[in-house]
Amino acid sequence: MRRILIVGAGQAGLQLALSLQSEGYEVTVMSARTPEEIRTGRIMSTQCIFWPQLRIERERGLNQWEDQAPRIVGQRSVVAGPPGQKALDFIGRWDDYAQSVDQRVKMSGWLELFESRGGTVVYHGVMTSDLEGLAALYDLTLIAAGKGELVELFDRDASRSPYDRPQRHLSCIYVHGMRPRPDYPEPHVRINVTPGVGELFYMPGLTNSGPCDILLWEAVPGGPFDCWSDHPTPEDHLTRTLDMMRQYAPWEYELTVGAEPTDARCVLYGGYAPTVRHPVARLSDSAAVLGMGDVVVANDPVTGQGANNAVRCAETYFRAIVEHGDRPFDTDWMRRTFDAYWEYARHPTNFTNLMLGPPPDHLLKILGTANEVEEVAYRFAHGFANPPDLENWLMDADKAEAYLASFTPAAQESERP
């Protein structure tokens, strides 16, 4: 059976490794950290995986925490104006639930599952200088390590990357003890937008110590939310979070008082330019590697697409590898395989880039209508889980106007028998 090397042990790399392993491929994973180091390390993301991608994990037998993680039923959007006061507040309930499992739990568990099934894991960091020799030992080498020097092997695709610097500075904390909203106690995502300042996200999740609450600040650089450069401790982060909530989102503050950090490594800081990269890196005239996951498509988390993109990328690559049979994995195949993934990934990428900039007029109209019309609120929330649908109505001003026109009083009156 063909030999596959995957460098990186995140959502995309491990999902692909386990999927190929189940088909009898000889797969080697290279991870810079052991399961225990991952499990006891710092949080890595805010991952919220929507139901279409959860279905893929379920089909691959990878849904190990489905009975433990909160089942997230919908998405509430709040727009402040002025800060501290709600201008818009609506919720769209999803067709099925989403879930967020701390990647410390998930990736350590998947690594152990892969090894228990006979997979080979090499616990060692990989340098660019190591790759050509390693690639020569395998039929196909994939780079799934979304950070570090290996990413620099893949050139930025300027035609698909409108931003060359971070559009948000990010700060995240996991806590225990937030109270549910009295008017909507079921687990749901909340997006609190302060125009020109940034966003505060909330989602329920599962961490090492059980169900938890996840808070993510997305700060417009230089604005009031951009106050995390000193990288405070979890306790100081929560204190600062409460102070900012009191001013900008008091409806969240009243739910968060009394919460506590989940552990000593439950905070994360950073920021990066949303980037699409060319998928193939040549190591020599005879050796090339294929990028996947965040290596090739890195979206800002403002629309929650990162982990979902990784699921889709791994599934697309898995199917392409299996369908390719015994033929060589040449650079033409690599580009075609990425192109198949890009047919999906272009939708969340375009949506994310739209949401990072000043909102166009038609988007403001959509949000205003969603505040009044349940069907529009549903479709807006549905688009986060199914980004291709957004091309049909939200991404284009003319299509948006035509869609919204159907909800005017005159249009509704004409539809009555």
DSSP code string of 159-175: GG---SS-S-EEEEEEE
Out of 141-150, 222-231, 270-279, which region has the weakest mean confidence (pLDDT)?
Answer: 141-150
DSSP secondary structure letter of residue 253: H
The pLDDT of residue 403 is 97
| Residue type, position 28, single letter | T
| CATH 3.50.50.60 residue spans of the chain | 3-65+101-163+273-355
Out of 80-94, 156-170, 293-307, 401-415, which region has the weakest mean confidence (pLDDT)?
Answer: 401-415
Nearest-CA neighbor of 194 among 269, 322, 82, 326?
Answer: 82
Q: What CATH architecture applies to the domain 3-65+101-163+273-355?
A: 3-Layer(bba) Sandwich (3.50)
Q: Is it the case that residue 412 has pLDDT exceeding 60? A: no
Distance CA 282, CA 3 (A): 19
Tokens of 154: 């893949």
CATH topology classification for 72-98+167-270: D-Amino Acid Oxidase; Chain A, domain 2 (3.30.9)
Across all residues in the chain, what is the average pLDDT? 95
Out of 6-10, 80-84, 94-98, 158-162, which region has the weakest mean confidence (pLDDT)?
Answer: 80-84
Give the mean model confidence (pLDDT) for residues 97-110.
98
Distance CA 127, CA 234 (A): 32
The pLDDT of residue 409 is 58
Tens digits of residue pLDDT in 108-157 = 999 999 999 999 999 998 989 889 999 999 999 999 997 888 999 999 99
User: Is 387 exposed, middle or buried, given 0-12, 13-18 or 19+ CB atoms closer than 10 A?
Assistant: buried
Q: Which residue has the tokens 């193939």?
A: 280
The pLDDT of residue 411 is 45
| CATH 3.30.9.40 residue spans of the chain | 72-98+167-270
The pLDDT of residue 240 is 98
Torsion 223-225-231-232 (CA) sign: positive
Say if CB 80 and CB 86 are below 8 A apart.
yes
Tens digits of residue pLDDT in 41-96 = 999 999 999 999 999 999 999 999 999 999 999 999 999 999 999 999 999 999 99
Rounded to two decimals, what is the model's pTM?
Answer: 0.95
The pLDDT of residue 408 is 73
Q: Is it the case that residue 294 has pLDDT exceeding 90? A: yes
Q: Is it the case that residue 351 has pLDDT exceeding 90? A: yes
The pLDDT of residue 146 is 77
- What confidence tier does 1 reach under pLDDT thresholds 50, 70, 90? confident
| Strand spans (E) along 18-103 | 26-31, 72-80, 86-98
Q: Is it the case that residue 416 has pLDDT exceeding 70? A: no
DSSP secondary structure letter of residue 186: S
Tens digits of residue pLDDT in 243-265 = 999 999 999 999 999 999 999 99
Distance CA 374, CA 91 (A): 8
Give the helix/strand (H/E) hosting 289.
Answer: strand 288-291
Q: What is each CA distance from 178 to 11, 76, 254, 306, in whole angstroms?
A: 27, 17, 9, 25
The pLDDT of residue 275 is 97
Give the mean model confidence (pLDDT) for residues 261-287.
95
- The packing angle between helices 361-370 and 374-385, to 10°, is 120
